[in-house]
Amino acid sequence: MRDLAPRLTQLKAQSLYRRRLTLDSPQDTHISVEGQPLISFCSNDYLGLANHPDVIQAFQQGVQKYGVGSGASHLVTGHSRAHDDLEEALAAFTGYPRALLFSSGYMANLAAQTTLAARHDVIYQDRLNHASLIDAAHLSKASLQRYAHLDSSALNNMLGEAKLSGNKNSLVVSDGVFSMDGDIAPVPELLNIASAHHSFLIIDDAHGIGVLGENGRGCLEHFNIHHTDDLILVGTLGKAFGTFGAFVAASDDVIETLIQKGRSYIYTTALPPAVACATLASLKLIQQDNERREKLAELIVYFKTCAEQIQLPLMPSNTAIQPLLMGDAEQALSISQSLRDQGFLVTAIRPPTVAEDTARLRITLSANHRHDDINALLEALSTLL
Ligand SMILES: *Cc1c(COP(=O)(O)O)cnc(C)c1O
């Protein structure tokens, strides 16, 4: 592992080298990157709450009350009233007995799988699950089996075979909305199959919570599914909520197990309390303000209709994630660069984030986009593709 330089050079040669952008502005649809104004189609701030005045104000009030850092982990002195209030509000919002805050979605996923599965168990995952879900399975030491994307009958077969060979403890895990594809998992089928095999189902609804369903309760509301003891929900707060952190919503026993055993819960500093205050304000907006969700839904339909008219390679998604399939990483990168030269920010997603030969431009829409922003992007794309 000392030969790092040639590996880096190789990444560049394969068009797989990643570079960071440095923003000089708040997160929004119109941003400034190293002095260049850009219309951004890359953020996960789907409802435009990251820079919302109510959320900013709640954050500032939180800082006045609690200071900046939480100073310790939740089990020492890091757990504040603000965290507690937010957990209660999230439980009520999702319709679960309890919710537990985590410092990030990545850590929530690590804790959920490592406490609910261990060596000799089997974790079943959709092939296109988010990297944090895959990493969590590896860390749990359970064996990981991946079923074909969205294929609940493949999952059913795998669980059936495992039962025949006497393998009992299993866990089924899926993204709710797939982060790089924008399609939605068949949650009702997954839940039926998992329950029939006495298995927990974990749904990571990072891209659905706040956005999907009439009241923004995410993919469970989208499918009209209510809490059951078998169904564990992971939600992240850095996307539609516009703040930071994550939560697990589950039964009392599952939450207590996470508190007692979840290493990525126990051995890390609690979120700053002010972030919990800001998130409470976003949650209020999510619950009270249907307009942002409706505006986003309208923009998604508008984007898809216009993109179809000019025959862009849309993928089967009805969510705010609207990828255009390029295939070739170099082509995706070069179109992304040309768009940037014209003032549009659209990231090229390349392997290993997505499978070989499925590089894509990942366009995400936000309630803060205007029709003019979309028109301008589509016009630029029509000359490039
Ligand atoms: C973004 C994301 C995460 C990670 O959440 P963070 O709070 O950013 O760590 C987990 N799962 C999915 C599906 C995601 O898209």
Model confidence pLDDT, tens digit, residues 191-239: 999 999 999 999 999 999 999 999 999 999 999 999 999 999 999 999 9
Report the pLDDT value the prediction gives residue 306, as an integer from 0 to 100. 97
User: How confident is the model over 54-104, as pLDDT tens digits?
Assistant: 999 999 999 999 999 999 999 999 999 999 999 999 999 999 999 999 999
Distance 236 CA to ligand 1 centre (A): 6
Q: Among residues 74, 83, 207, 369, which one is catalytic?
A: 207
User: How confident is the model over 255-272, as pLDDT tens digits?
Assistant: 999 999 999 999 999 999
CB 248 within 8 A of CB 111: yes
> Quick check: is 334 catalytic?
no
- Rounded to an integer, what distance in angstroms lies between the CA atom of residue 160 and that of residue 127? 19
- Rounded to an integer, what distance in angstroms lies between the CA atom of residue 73 and that of residue 103? 10
- Rounded to an integer, what distance in angstroms lies between the CA atom of residue 365 and that of residue 327? 22
pLDDT tops 70 at residue 42: yes
- Rounded to an integer, what distance in angstroms lies between the CA atom of residue 210 and that of residue 219? 9
Mean pLDDT computed over every residue of the chain: 96
Q: Among residues 179, 282, 336, 366, which one is catalytic?
A: 179
pTM of this structure:
0.96
Protein residue with least CA distance to atom 5, ligand 1: 105
**What is the DSSP secondary-structure string of 285-340?**
HHHH-HHHHHHHHHHHHHHHHHHHHTT--B-S--SSEEEEEEE-HHHHHHHHHHHH
pLDDT tops 70 at residue 7: yes
The topology under which CATH files domain 53-287 is Aspartate Aminotransferase; domain 2 (3.40.640)
Report the pLDDT value the prediction gives residue 1, as an integer from 0 to 100. 67
Q: Among residues 239, 264, 336, 366, which one is catalytic?
A: 239
**Where does CATH 3.40.640.10 sit in the chain?**
53-287
Report the pLDDT value the prediction gives residue 224, as an integer from 0 to 100. 98
> Quick check: is 179 catalytic?
yes
Distance 206 CA to ligand 1 centre (A): 6
Pick left, alpha or beta for residue 67 (phi over 0 → left; psi -120 to 50 → alpha; otherwise beta). left
Pocket lined around ligand 1, Cβ cut-off 6 Å: 104-106, 109, 130, 132, 175, 179, 204, 206-207, 236, 238, 246
Beta bridge partners of 36: 33
Radius of gyration of the chain (CA): 21
Distance 165 CA to ligand 1 centre (A): 34
Protein residue with least CA distance to atom 14, ligand 1: 206
**Helix ranges restricted to H, 166-314:** 187-196, 219-222, 252-261, 263-266, 273-288, 290-309
pLDDT tops 80 at residue 282: yes
For residue 15, name the pLDDT band (cuts at 50, 70, 90). Answer: confident
Protein residue with least CA distance to atom 3, ligand 1: 105
- 377 compared with 168, residue with greater pLDDT: 377
Domain 11-40+290-384 has CATH 3.90.1150.10: yes
Q: Tokens 């060979």 — which residue? A: 165
CB 216 within 8 A of CB 254: no
Phi, psi dihedrals of residue 340, rounded to the nearest 5°: -65, -40
**Where does CATH 3.90.1150.10 sit in the chain?**
11-40+290-384
> Quick check: is 239 catalytic?
yes
Average pLDDT score over residue span 312-337: 95
User: How confident is the model over 110-149, as pLDDT tens digits?
Assistant: 999 999 999 999 999 999 999 999 999 999 999 999 999 9
Going by C-alpha positions, the residue among 204, 237, 238, 378 that lies closest to residue 308 is 378
CB 261 within 8 A of CB 110: no
